[in-house]
Structure 1
Amino acid sequence: MASRILHRLRHVLAGEGERDGLAGCSSEAEEFPESSELEDDTEGLSTRLSGTLSFTSNEEEEEEEDTSEARGEQGESLEPGLLGETTENGEDSPPSTERRGSNLLTRQLQELWRKSRGSFVPQRLLFEVTSANVVNERNSKYVLYTIYLIRAGQFDKAPATIARRYSDFERLNRRLRRHFGSDMAGVSFPQKRLRRNFTAETIAKRSRAFEQFLSHLHSLPEIRRSADYLEFFFLNDLQGAQRLTCSGVYHQALAVWTNSQRLQEKLGACHSGHFLLTLAGLAVCQQELEQLGEAHASCEQALWLLEAQDRHPLLAPFLQAYIHLSWMLGRDKRQAEARLQALQEAGEVGLLLPTLKELLIKQALP
């Protein structure tokens, strides 16, 4: 009987040894997979990630560093046993402990996300030269570069465009270096050439250089908020739209006003006098073209921006236009009428108000 028991015990021990050996082999196989699964795909990755170069702003880099530091501090503050504990017998703790740790981590991530939502992140833009055409005029020849401004990281349904020549870029570069010498120290600009300015190679190199030039400028907070930088994009549009509106060419003027609005929205310049003038131009052209709903919306947006500015010269004309459009569309106009009456009683405006169109024609642009 004893010999039989010893014989069975040897078989059991031998079987466990074989299973342990097989388990060890399988773990090694999982730890060291086939070499084909570890092949370097760097070249393919570079191909997939290749595209237009864009720069992020300094503020975004600082925010990313702050977020990573916050994550590190919170990771160190976690108690060692929250993400995995063992009992005295070496067995895993009950699943409730794991859930407690994961719930705590989730709450911390949610708190970080709530904090990041409240922080200001500047609009990231791509600047893409989509075409470059050689223009021959009577006494000059130059290349006109068409540039699209597109929101990065998402599909942009309404990109804005500008058309600029080398001299426009050079003027912007000169002004910014005069006003922001330290910030512009690291910004490169394509130099003039004495010849071969109109070859395909030169035009292609300058196109890429202008994209990077504008992207780098947009990454610098002080520069992207400056008047020189902003007016480079939309001042020409405003001047052209104003001339077209005064000439009564409302369809063409509306297209230019609309592009100017998109430019200012993408550049974050929606709280300036230029943007209010743009809304006035939109409202005038839309009303002349009998697009009453769109004109009403333009006036409503302007009044929202002028909510705390009772002495702005455009306030009363916008109120007057809004009241008239609300009457034509059958919409509530009592609040606007009360505000206009209060301005008149306070002596802020007279009884005879200039219309938006009159102010638009008289407005002098630099």
Structure 2
Amino acid sequence: MASKILQRLRPSPHKDQRGPGPPEEPPEIAELVDDPDMAVRLSGTLSFSEDSLVSEGSDGTEGKSLEEPKARPLLTQQLREMWANTEGHSVPIRLTFEVTEANIVRDVHAKYVMYTIFLLHSGQYDPSPAFITCRYSDLERLRKSLRSHYPEEMSNVSFPHKRLHKNFTAETIAKRSRAFEQFLCHVSSLPALRRSPKFLGFFYLSDMQKAQRLTCTGLYKLALPLWTNCWRLQEKLCPTWASTHRLLVLDGLVVCHLELDTLADAQAYSEQALALLQASQEQNVTLLIAFLQAHIQLSWRVGRDKRDSEAALMKLKEAGHSMSNTPTLKEILIKATID
């Protein structure tokens, strides 16, 4: 992958004819692992932008878009070929990370590179890959946090070094992009790290907080893409866990779709929430009642069967749980502390 990226991003020798400049610095070391299998999994296409001006948003954030990147390669060509060649054979499903864009951002305070990293499942067609945008410093903070809490597991995980010069050359950005892919793949392959709140929160916690603020202020169209991407991230990172974060994301999705009158989607997400809650050993009764009430209302409005939810709600009532003072999904979302 690195060679392909470097060929695409290497500056043209005809752009500068002013003679030889200062001697080249030695290449970065100890930041890439020579792993042939990794190269097969990660050989994608990196889109590089020389300049990108990012204005500060209304909520004080910068650099991160509320919508998915316009140039969105769902799958790399090599993954497509792999699936075509393995038709009829069992292929292990893995979570892979692919840097698809690297934009140099200039604002009044700093200049930095913003990386767009897609998460997708290899070994099967993935119609809805999730993505994050982050800077070198964001990933470095993640590495330091994981090393602090999991020193043994992180002892052999490599990470690209800082550089004093040439941080914005195409070659440096391409090398770092591949190193970030390897770093995230390595961390996610270790069960203790993949399940850690520090690792999971890195991917979706800030977006959850932004989506909550937007939802609470009635900006449902802006909040919905954030909730949707959070859900896709969680589906890939923790597909079977009924965590509070996952239930709050489903809460946000139901509320936004309900307010935007896309009732079928709201009903479908309420069903997913009920499936997680009912499979969980430690049920959140407040959320369960709120989702049951929402599911009954939505199922009635879209013409779906609501009898199971009505029976479950009746059992909770017979067990002594009050229905009159139970907050709605929107009230729960407004009062929730996401951290």
TM-score w.r.t. the length of structure 2 is 0.70
The one-character-per-residue Cα deviations of 1:33-87 (angstroms, maximum 9, x if unpaired) are xxxxxxxxxxxxxx9x964449xxxxxxxxxxxxxxxxxxxxxxxxxxxxxxxxx
Which structure is higher in helix share?
Answer: 1
Per-residue deviation, 1:209? 0.7
Distance 1:172 1:160 in 2: 19
- In 1, distance between residues paired with 2:252 and 2:155? 39
Partner of 2:252: 281
Retained in 2: the 8 A contact 1:123–1:267?
Answer: no
Matching residue of 1:328 = 301
Identity value in percent: 57
1:114 aligns to what?
Answer: none
Cα root mean square deviation, aligned? 2.3
Q: 1:294 to 1:177 in 2, by over 3 A?
A: same
Equivalent residues of 1:241, 1:254 under 8 A apart: yes
Please name the residue that 2:27 is paired with.
Answer: none
SS at match of 2:165: coil
Secondary structure of 2:102's partner?
A: strand
Counterpart position of 1:249 = 219
Separation (CA, whole Å) in 2 of partners of 1:122 and 1:277: 31
Higher relative contact order (CA 8 A, sep 6+): 2
**2:271 counterpart of 1:300:** yes
Letter in 2 for 1:286: H
> Any residues of structure 2 matched to 1:137-176 within 5 Å, and which?
137-176=107-146
Sort the Cα spacing of 1:349 and 1:164 in 2 relative to 1 into closer, same or farther, 3 A.
farther
**Larger Cα Rg: Structure 1 or Structure 2?**
1
CA offsets per residue over residues 210-261 of structure 1, 9 Å max, x none? 0110011111111111111111111122112112211222222111111111
Which ranges in structure 1 are unaligned for 5 or more consecutive residues? 1-46, 55-116
Which amino acid in structure 1 is aligned with residue 203 of structure 2?
F
Separation in 1, partners of 2:153, 2:325: 49
Distance 1:351 1:151 in 2: 44
Q: Evaluate the alpha carbon distance shift between residue 361 and residue 122 of structure 1 in structure 2; reply closer, same or farther with a 3 A threshold.
A: farther
Residue 153 of structure 2 is aligned to residue 183 of structure 1: yes
- Tell me, in whole angstroms, the C-alpha distance in 2 between the residues paired with 1:235 and 1:293: 27
Tell me how far apart the structure 1 counterparts of residues 283 and 39 of structure 2 sit (CA, whole Å).
51
Using the alignment, how far apart are the partners of 1:342 and 1:154 within structure 2?
A: 40
Length, aligned pairs only: 254
Deviation at 1:206, TM superposition (A): 0.9
The verdict on how the C-alpha distance between 1:192 and 1:339 changes in structure 2, with shifts beyond 3 A counting, is same
Residue from 281, 285, 290 that aligns with 1:312: 285
CA contact (8 A) 2:42 2:98 kept: no
C-alpha distance in 2 between matches for 1:135 and 1:273 = 35
Equivalence for 2:104: 134
The secondary structure found in structure 1 opposite 2:254 is helix
Q: Secondary structure at the match of 2:311?
A: helix
Give 2:314's aligned amino acid. Answer: Q
- How many angstroms apart in 2 are the aligned matches of 1:192 and 1:310? 46
Aligned with 2:180 (options 210, 215, 225): 210
* 1:354 and 2:327 correspond: yes
CA contact (8 A) 1:123 1:266 kept: no
Moved more, 266-275 or 295-304: 266-275
Give the SS at the match of 2:96. Answer: strand
| Structure-1 residue corresponding to 2:316 | 343
Task: Show the counterpart of 2:65.
Answer: none
Q: What amino acid is the match of 1:141?
A: K
Q: Which residue of 2 is the match for residue 223 of structure 1?
A: 193
Q: TM (normalized to structure 1)?
A: 0.65
